[in-house]
Chain A
Amino acid sequence: MINSIGSLSITELKQEFHKGTVSPVDAVSLLINDIEKYDNDVCSYLSIDKESALKAAADADISKPLGGIPIAIKDLINVKGQPCSCASQMLKDSYIATYDATAIANLKSHGAIPFGRLNMDEFAMGSTTENSGFHITKNPWDHSRIPGGSSGGSAACVANGTAIASLGSDTGGSIRQPASYCGVVGLKPSYGTVSRYGLVAFASSLDQIGPITKSSADAAVLLSAIAGKDPLDSTSIDNVESNPLSKLNGDIKGFKIGIPKEYFTDGMDSNVSNCINDAIKTLESLGAEIIEISLPHTDYAVSTYYIIATAEASANLARFDSVRYGHRAQSPNDIIDQYKKSRSHGFGQEVKRRIILGTYVLSSGYNDAYYVKAQKVRTLIRDDFTRAFDKVDAIVSPTAPTTACKIGEMSDDPLEMYLADIFTLAANLSGICGVSTPCGFVDTDENKKLPVGLQILGPPMQESKILCISDAYEKATNWLSHKARQ
């Protein structure tokens, strides 16, 4: 009899179901035990609806692709009957989802059990999960450090063995960067691959839901379950792999892999660049051809991103007007006063800061200089990738320029925090896909080891190609066998 399942992968738990060693009901009960034992320090979860999970487990059909597998959910994806607070006081204790996001409906039709609500930066705005309106989540490898963000809870629970796998969302790196900091696999699908219906919108032209898992094989399986064209999201596209594991054959001989020269600059931590250089050698030894490429507009990606993302956010977050849902301030003078007081009490600092920046760049007299200009530079950034992918199958870089920082180290300087997203956010601007997989560890002065992530970017709709590369790399190395919790 197994007495803990939190460290198993999707593939491993499926095997246990088919061997009959555990049932889905056992699995959910054991997972609840694991969370009660191990989540007190790390604090990945905001809440767990035990009853509904156990009920779904009792009805689970293990013959389905994800039958009986509990999947933990970032707190901005609607699951009918469960809270969906986006880790914001705006929605705390007051909002229960009245419908399933399409990604959740797809998970359920594949037999999976949406399980628990995961901490995040409020409305997905942040890179550390310190901007949660509820509590701080800690990095499972070193509890004095941040797990990354905004999907910090989604990455920390998988690394801490308190979830089999999870869903996060990625607007500028919010899946890949925490996956990198926590030593797990995180995939941002190409724009449109996963329906955004039921995902609380941050920046609609950039947002994508994606999996955080213990292997690229798991990411492929989970992606194929949630992906698909959806009449409820007109930007969604048909990009579903019907047999997701068939392409992960470990063979990357002859693959052309590009190394962008603009990414390997002085700002990068030398420990991180050492790990990446070793990873590039490993890919070469597996038969890939390494080619230097250029992405000339790299230096402009952060500026472009923060104009576009905040502009879209300021429009999207206008829906929080305290009329239909959300926090409502008491005794307002009039309706305008009610909007203002409710929004000012409900939103945290980073959210207000970004709404104001976004409102400013869209305001009369500034719209052309900032927003339209940024959209034009976005075209150039996207063209850089189109040209690069004429020459190479995939592009490799670090996921983040450093390893996870200490809690509190970053929060005072928003610009510095934004600059840390340099390697990830161009993928969102360009709509391409990207995966982060662990490629080594850096020892700290306090005798801890911190994971480093390797980012592999691919052209739109080429998820199976980048997952083939990350899977081959994982099979050739043993980084995923290192566990944060012994």
Chain B
Amino acid sequence: MIDSKIDVKYVADLARLELTDSEVNDFTKQLTEILTFVKQLENVDTSGIEPTAHAQPVFNVIRNDISRDGFGSDSALKNAPNSSKNQFKVPRVVD
């Protein structure tokens, strides 16, 4: 039904990872092996079966809309690799 080929370089790009050639080789081999193994799920008849997202479903969790103190920017910025003027600082995004 579905092939177990994985283009590791392409998927790494989607995941914002940059891999070395040897990582690409290792992961291709290991993940192909894992994907071949998980193909066994094709043998299970799941027609008419609903997917389970949470084992212990909890519905309609609501609370009163009352304002409360937030985290504060001082705390939020405490672990920032780079910050300036009370904000997180990153390389230019828009030219």
Measured CA separation A379–B52 after assembly (Å): 5
Contact between chains at A191 and B16 (CB < 8 Å): no
A205 nearest CB across to chain B (Å): 5
Q: Are B46 and A429 in contact (CB under 8 A)?
A: no
Number of interface residues of A (CB under 8 A): 74
Is there an interface contact between B31 and A357, defined as CB atoms closer than 8 Å? yes
Q: Give the chain B neighbours of A344 by CB distance below 8 A.
A: 17-19
Which of A205, A300, A357 sits near B44, CB closer than 8 Å?
A: A300
Chain A proximity mask over B16-58: 1 for CB below 8 Å, otherwise 0? 1111000100010011011101101110101001111111101
Q: Of the candidates A307, A355, A382, which one forms a contact with B55 in the assembled complex, judged by CB atoms under 8 Å apart?
A: A382
| CB < 8 Å neighbour of B49 from A190, A192, A379, A415 | A379
Interface residues of B in 41-86 (CB under 8 A from A): 41-42, 44, 46, 49-56, 58, 61, 63, 71, 75-76, 78-82
* A183 interface residue (CB < 8 Å to B): no
Known contacts A237-B56, A340-B17, A356-B17; is A324 also within 8 Å of B51 by CB? no
Q: For residue B42, which residues in chain A have a CB less than 8 angstroms away from its CB?
A: 373
B30:A192 contact, CB within 8 angstroms = no
Q: A205-B55, A323-B90, A335-B90 are in contact. Are A341 and B44 (CB under 8 A)?
A: no
- Number of residue pairs across A and B with beta carbons under 8 Å? 175
Q: In the complex, are the beta carbons of A340 and B16 less than 8 A apart?
A: yes
Which of A142-150, A272-280, A362-370 lies at the interface?
Answer: A362-370
CA distance A418 to B37 in the complex (A): 11
Chain B residue contacts of A336, Cβ below 8 A:
16
Given A300-B40, A379-B51, answer yes or no on A190-B31 (Cβ-Cβ < 8 Å). no
Q: Which residues from chain B contact A299 at a C-beta distance below 8 Å? A: 40
Also in contact, A304 and B30, with CB within 8 A (given A191-B54, A343-B17): no
Contact B91–A338 (Cβ < 8 Å): yes
In the complex, A135 has a CB within 8 A of chain B: no
- The answer, yes or no, to whether A294 is at the interface (CB within 8 Å) is no
Q: B31 contacts A353, CB within 8 Å?
A: yes
A129 part of interface (Cβ distance < 8 Å): no
| Stretch from A58-66, A325-333, A444-452 contacting the other chain | A325-333
State whether the Cβ of A322 lies closer than 8 Å to any Cβ in chain B.
yes
Q: Evaluate contact between B18 and A431: CB separation under 8 angstroms.
A: no
Q: In the docked arrangement, what's the CA distance between A302 and B40, Å? A: 10
Chain A residues near B82: list those with CB within 8 A.
Answer: 328
The answer, yes or no, to whether A374 is at the interface (CB within 8 Å) is yes
| Cα(A280)–Cα(B91), bound, Å | 62
Q: Are B1 and A369 in contact (CB under 8 A)?
A: yes
Q: How far is the CA of A95 from the CA of B78 in the complex (A)?
A: 9
Residues facing B in A307-352 (CB within 8 A) are: 307, 314, 318, 321-328, 332, 334-336, 338-341, 343-344, 347, 349, 352
Q: Provide a sorted-by-A list of 21 A–B residue pairs whose CB atoms are within 8 angstroms.
A: A96-B78, A98-B79, A99-B71, A205-B53, A234-B58, A306-B38, A325-B81, A339-B16, A341-B18, A344-B18, A347-B17, A353-B27, A356-B12, A359-B14, A374-B38, A374-B41, A377-B46, A378-B55, A382-B55, A418-B34, A432-B55
Chain B residues within 8 Å of A, Cβ to Cβ: 1-2, 6, 8, 11-12, 14-19, 23, 27, 30-31, 33-35, 37-38, 40-42, 44, 46, 49-56, 58, 61, 63, 71, 75-76, 78-82, 88, 90-93
A-side residues, CB < 8 A to B, are 94-96, 98-99, 190-192, 205-206, 231, 234-235, 237, 297, 299-300, 302-304, 306-307, 314, 318, 321-328, 332, 334-336, 338-341, 343-344, 347, 349, 352-353, 355-357, 359-360, 363, 366, 369-370, 372-380, 382, 414-415, 418, 428-432, 460
